[in-house]
Structure 1
Amino acid sequence: MSLQNRIINHFSDSIQAQQDATTHLSEVLEFASLRLVTALLNDKKIITCGNGRSALSAQLLASAMLNQFERSRPALPAIALAADSATLTAIANTVHFDDIFAKQLRALGQSGDILVTYTDEDNAANVAKAIIAAHSKDISIIALTGKDGGMVTSLLSERDLEIRVPSHSSVHIHEVHVLITHCLCDLIDHQLFDG
């Protein structure tokens, strides 16, 4: 296969993953945006977490809330639990890596906040522990997943939402997670500042 054909295949596969997500996820994205807006209107915050590339998506959401998405507007309260390398490495060193998000969440989270998790893998034990910690503090979850949802899916309660990308490719799951994040940011801005 030529290099140009490989390029065309990458774009085509990505477009297909996005089209599949549009078909399957529009309704749950609307519900997720409504929950996020309700939390923000009630002076609650958005807390995000994820590992590796998923940490970048989590930070993207928090950054867009704290600064802006596409236009200037007041800052919205959000925290990315993967952003503080000193805290992450301290917890991993003195407690356990699986507790890097849960320990922060127990200290920073409050009832009514929303935890937005990002994962494309089955074995994100630190995200799973964050979900358990969130539930203990009356914090609901919006879980962005892929593949079969992994261990995260089994931990979600009836008041949580799962946004599962219908793909088995980690690369395409991450691409769609970024698109979903952009979509949620736009929906939040539209509901809070265009109404």
Structure 2
Amino acid sequence: MMNSSFDLIRAHLKAGGDLKHRIAASDDLVQRIYDASAIMIRTLKKGKKILWCGNGGSAADSQHLSAELVARLNITRPGLASLALTTDTSLLTAWSNDVGFESLFSRQVEALGDNGDVLMALSTSGKSPNVLKAVKSAREKKITTIALLGRDGGVIRSEADLAIVVPSENTQLIQEIHVTVGHLLCELVETKLFKT
């Protein structure tokens, strides 16, 4: 027996599948995903690290994807240098309370980032002020910035060195694609660095 909940489930799954098909058919987006993986591979080969930042669901995605690099995705191999800037609760609460939330990630980029690192900046709107400030801080330190964005990419699109913009207005679907793209990046990194 059909009901509105079933319709909702099917509609969401179909929308997600359709969005993945659109991205797979886009030579530009496929090239950008490949280019992002190549940047990450070069960075890790040089002994540098990947930093991740985002808010809310994008914070969770940052932690998830950073963990895939440190731990493993598909291949048992040495850990890779990756750090989510969303995990230090003492710093997050102290800095946000005492100074302000807008500079939370840029402060960590300033303290932990090095010339030659990569900053992975996640924002479904492309407008998150603290993510934007982190991207600008990264530029000052000669850290390459890769942005996973949604909608029209917002202001972060033009500030990042490489932007992967999910062509959707639906925050949930954008975040789902960010995880998919993140998994692809981690798989490409692992395969290139460790598969024999």
**What TM-score do the two structures reach when normalised by structure 1?**
0.95
The 3 A distance-change label for structure 1 pair 31 and 122 is closer
Match of 1:142 in 2: 146
Match of 2:80 in 1: 76
SS of aligned partner of 2:62 = helix
Which is worse superposed, 55-64 or 135-144?
A: 55-64
Which amino acid letter does the alignment assign opposite residue 165 of structure 2? Answer: R
Equivalent residue for 1:41, pick from 29, 37, 45: 45
Match of 2:57 in 1: 53
Which is worse superposed, 1-10 or 31-40?
A: 1-10
Match of 1:190 in 2: 191
Which amino acid letter does the alignment assign opposite residue 129 of structure 1? Answer: K
Match of 2:23 in 1: 21
Unaligned runs of 5+ in 2: none
Question: Distance between the aligned counterparts of 1:145 and 1:122, measured in 2?
Answer: 5
* CA shift for structure 1 position 3: 1.7
Question: Distance between the aligned counterparts of 1:181 and 1:108, measured in 2?
Answer: 22
Equivalences for residues 1-195 of structure 1 within 5 A: 2-24=4-26, 25-156=29-160, 160-195=161-196
* CA shift for structure 1 position 47: 0.3
* CA shift for structure 1 position 71: 2.6
* CA shift for structure 1 position 122: 4.3
Which amino acid letter does the alignment assign opposite residue 149 of structure 2? Answer: T
Runs of 4+ displaced beyond 2 Å: none
**What TM-score do the two structures reach when normalised by structure 2?**
0.95
Unaligned runs of 5+ in 1: none
Which is worse superposed, 66-75 or 182-191?
A: 66-75
Query: Is contact 1:21-1:176 (8 Å) kept?
Result: no
CA-based RMSD of the aligned residues comes to 1.1
SS of aligned partner of 1:101 = helix
1:10-45 Cα deviation digits (max 9, x unpaired): 110110111112222211111110110000000100
Identity of aligned residues (%): 36
